Copies of this chain bind each other. A is one copy, B any other.
Amino acid sequence: MTAKFEIPKPDKELIDKANKVKKAYLNNCQADDLQRKKAINYMADALLNNTEKILEANNSDVKSAESKGISSSLISRLRLSKDKLNLGIEGVRKVGQLDDPLGEIQINKELSEGLILQRKTVPIGVIGVIFESRPDAVMQISSLAIRSGNGLILKGGSEANHTNIALVNALKDGLKNSEINEDTICLLTNRKDSMSLLNLENDINLIIPRGSNELVRFIQENTKIPVLGHADGICHIYVDNEVDIDLAIRVSLDSKIQYPAACNAIETLLIHKDIAKEFLNKAIPMFKAKDVKLKGDKISQSFGVKFSANNEDWKTEYLDKVLSVKIVEKLDDAILHIQKFGSKHTDGIITKNDKNAKKFMNLVDSAGVFHNCSTRFADGFRFGFGAEVGISTQSMPPRGPVGLEGLVTYKYFLTGEGQIVEDFSSGKQIFTHRDL
């Protein structure tokens, strides 16, 4: 238990709000596919109709952030241009087109004559989303929640307060035209609520944090509610001795620089000693040309890596154009390094040797184990899920990039004709356990 911070108890106002969402969710969870699809289109229409209001609200947030001297990267995330808003609206409509995640029959089985077991997907319940200043997240997560029949409690960064209020008002306007209750979505604007909602374990069934590693880690450590997300993304690529060096450099470069701030970008390159000199001779100028700072162990420095890396580096997610380099004796040492320093996100091997690839992929206990391709493919859209709710680095499912699947659970539906267990214990009736 690493909790050091006393999370406040939810006050009556927050509990009432949560109960309102829960009640609306329960009303909705009987809504069919078409009703949910329609609701999402109404939401998109309402966002479009409220474009001016939303952009004005955002403008006021941006101005206030600028006057407070907030960092330019944060302001660029906060700013909602007309194009960005339209992209968001387009994203909402796309979520409406995703296959219905509810009612999928996972098990269909006769337990005994007339006693039928079905396991079907159902909504999870009420989902709490805590996000930093990303107005696009409001649109995306709201449409995903409605598509999957869940209730939603949103808590955004205070810098985006006006924008978030304008967005949520528009979304609720849209829901008013639909058969989904507008109370299904609730925006919390009070800073203390984002803390105390971590204690709403009876009313919130899942928390999704969208923001920095620190935010995610804080939430994971301070709630009993399941959290979908990950803190660190310390991804590796191991370059084996049996490789096509050009391919290895291409993939390593892409894994680092295609978007260095992403969680699926690599932080450490592990290189087999037999290939290290040749690889680095060719790779160092190419990384340099892309402004990547290389930090290496002693041996790699002797091959031209300029800066030195220490134990801290192996556990650092740079989120920047920095890459640590380590030379390993053999495949097993690369695996051991990843087992010790990795964050169970995504790790890859570059090799022509399929046996080595298989061993690496079996023994590296990460959500994604990749062979001869960029770690940047670890993404719900690139995996073809049509949406990404988050990337999870826990051992238990859902793991890795999570699409709409992460917003549903299942229930067992058992239908009989008066069957009792005593008849089976006494041998009067028998189980057939026949798949239907």
Question: Which of under 10, 10 to 19, 20 to 34, or 35 or more describes the interface residues of A?
Answer: 35 or more
Judging by beta carbons under 8 Å apart, are B226 and A224 in contact? no
Judging by beta carbons under 8 Å apart, are B258 and A421 in contact? yes
Judging by beta carbons under 8 Å apart, are A125 and B394 in contact? no
Residues of B within 8 A of A117 (CB): 383-384
Q: Which residues of chain A from 362 to 381 have any CB-CB distance to chain B below 8 Å in the complex?
A: 362-363, 365-374, 376-378
Question: Do A206 and B395 contact each other (CB < 8 Å), given the known contacts A224-B221, A372-B415, A373-B414?
Answer: yes
- Shortest CB–CB separation between residue A406 and chain B, in angstroms? 9
Residues of B within 8 A of A306 (CB): none
**Is A410's beta carbon under 8 Å from chain B?**
yes
Residues of B within 8 A of A420 (CB): 250-251, 253-255, 258, 373-374, 376
A122 CA to B244 CA, complexed, in Å: 30
**Is A29's beta carbon under 8 Å from chain B?**
yes
**Is A212's beta carbon under 8 Å from chain B?**
no
Helix, strand, loop or mixed for chain A's interface? mixed
A11 CA to B333 CA, complexed, in Å: 27
Beta-carbon nearest neighbor of A420 in chain B: B254
Judging by beta carbons under 8 Å apart, are A384 and B111 in contact? yes
Judging by beta carbons under 8 Å apart, are A409 and B397 in contact? yes
Judging by beta carbons under 8 Å apart, are B250 and A411 in contact? no
Judging by beta carbons under 8 Å apart, are A371 and B416 in contact? yes
28 A-B contacts (beta carbon < 8 Å): A1-B1, A1-B223, A30-B362, A30-B363, A111-B382, A115-B377, A117-B383, A206-B395, A251-B420, A254-B421, A365-B411, A366-B411, A370-B414, A371-B413, A372-B418, A373-B415, A373-B417, A373-B419, A377-B419, A377-B421, A378-B412, A382-B424, A383-B412, A397-B397, A397-B410, A399-B410, A399-B412, A400-B412
